[in-house]
Amino acid sequence: MTNPTLHRTATVNGRKVFYREAGDPSAPTILLLHGLPTSSQMFRELMPALVDRFHLIAPDYIGFGHSDAPSRGEFTYTFDNLATHVAGLVDALGLTSYIIYMQDYGGPVGFRLFTQRPAQVKGFIIQNTNAYMEGVGDAPKKVLLPLWENRNAETEKPARDFVSIEGTKFHWLVGAKNPEAINPDNWILDQALLDRPGTQDYQVDLLENYKSNIALYPDWQAAFRKHQPKTLIVWGKHDPFFIPPGARAYLNDLPDAKLVWLDSGHFVLDENVAQVACEIKARFAPNHTATNSAA
**One-letter amino acid for residue 165 of the chain:** I
Of 34, 171, 238, 266, the active-site residue reads 266
* Alpha carbons 195 and 191: distance in angstroms, whole number: 6
* Alpha carbons 101 and 246: distance in angstroms, whole number: 16
Contact 270, 282 (CB under 8 A): no
* Alpha carbons 46 and 48: distance in angstroms, whole number: 6
Contact 216, 233 (CB under 8 A): no
CB-count burial class (<10 Å; 0-12, 13-18, 19+) for 94: exposed
Other CB atoms within 10 A of residue 8 CB: 12
Nearest residue to 129 (alpha-carbon basis) of 155, 156, 110? 110
H helix intervals, the chain: 46-50, 79-92, 106-116, 138-149, 153-162, 165-173, 185-194, 199-209, 211-227, 244-253, 269-284
Indicate the DSSP class of residue 242.
B
* Alpha carbons 56 and 25: distance in angstroms, whole number: 8
* Alpha carbons 259 and 295: distance in angstroms, whole number: 8
Reply yes or no on whether 266 is catalytic: yes
3-state SS assignment for residue 42: helix
User: Which amino acids are annotated catalytic?
Assistant: 266
